[in-house]
Every structure is written in structure tokens, then in C-alpha cells.
């Protein structure tokens, strides 16, 4: 049972480069999310998606782009990476059927922008 997987696990890139972080879930959950985790800030929502072809901004969307052409995939792209985007990125999914909307998280991608 694969669940939710993120790739790559670790990524080092340079300022100005485009980077795409992948997220794949096998549960057919309708909702998917991208969070970034930084010391002193906890988890902050970047973008989320309620279904295929439906995406919306979260708390910190600037500098990021998402797409959701298929229910199971929700890639996050940094179009021109900056040092401030060095962070640990978590993808999550939820079936959206209960009010608490339990989130299932991937294991994270640690991104360093040099």
C-alpha cells in the first residue's frame, strides 16, 4: 500500500533554476495540499486542490505554481528558485468526507537553494 509518495527526497539547486517537486497518492483522495515547514513557522500552506483541474492559493503561494491534471498527482513547481525557498516541503491528501479532513502526509522533500 503505497499511500502518498514524494520525490525527490532531497534536492539541491541553484538560485534562478526551475524545480519541480512531485507528489503521488494512490487513495484517489479528492483533496491534495502542499505545505512548507520552516523553523519557527511550523507548516504553512502553499497551494491546495479540491479536485483535478481545481487549485487554489494557500497562505504563502508566491513563487510557486501547481497543476492537477490527474487526481493522483499534484506537482509543485518553483519557477525561479530563491534562497528563501530553502525548506522542507510536504505534500498531503484527504478524502474530504469528514469535517476534520484528516490529512495524510508524505515523507517530505528537503530542498536547498544555493
Partner 1 sequence: GQQLNQSPQSMFIQEGEDVSMNCTSSSIFNTWLWYKQEPGEGPVLLIALYKAGELTSNGRLTAQFGITRKDSFLNISASIPSDVGIYFCAGEYGGATNKLIFGTGTLLAVQP
Taking contact as CB under 8 A, which single stretch among the options 13-21, 67-75, 77-85, 87-95 is the one that binds partner 1?
Answer: 87-95
**Which of residues 66, 108, 111, 113 is near partner 1 by CB under 8 A?**
108
The verdict on 74 binding partner 1 (CB under 8 A) reads no
31 near partner 1, rule: CB under 8 A: yes
* 84 three-class SS: helix
Q: CA 12, CA 78: separation in Å to the nearest integer? A: 13
Q: Which residues have C-beta within 8 Å of that of residue 88, sequence separation ≥ 6? A: 36, 37, 38, 108, 109, 110, 111
Residues lying near partner 1 in the complex (CB under 8 A) are found at 31, 33, 35, 40-45, 48, 50, 58-59, 90, 92, 94, 96, 99-103, 105-108
Amino acid at each position: 500500500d503505497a499511500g502518498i509518495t514524494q520525490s525527490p527526497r532531497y534536492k539541491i539547486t541553484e538560485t534562478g533554476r526551475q524545480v519541480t517537486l512531485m507528489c503521488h497518492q494512490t487513495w484517489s483522495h479528492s483533496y491534495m495540499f502542499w505545505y512548507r515547514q520552516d523553523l519557527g513557522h511550523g507548516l504553512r500552506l502553499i497551494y491546495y486542490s479540491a479536485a483535478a483541474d481545481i487549485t487554489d492559493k494557500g497562505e504563502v503561494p508566491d513563487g510557486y505554481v501547481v497543476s492537477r491534471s490527474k487526481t493522483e498527482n499534484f506537482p509543485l513547481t518553483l519557477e525561479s528558485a530563491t534562497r528563501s525557498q530553502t525548506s522542507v516541503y510536504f505534500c498531503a491528501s484527504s478524502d474530504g468526507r469528514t469535517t476534520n479532513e484528516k490529512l495524510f502526509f508524505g515523507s517530505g522533500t528537503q530542498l536547498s537553494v544555493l
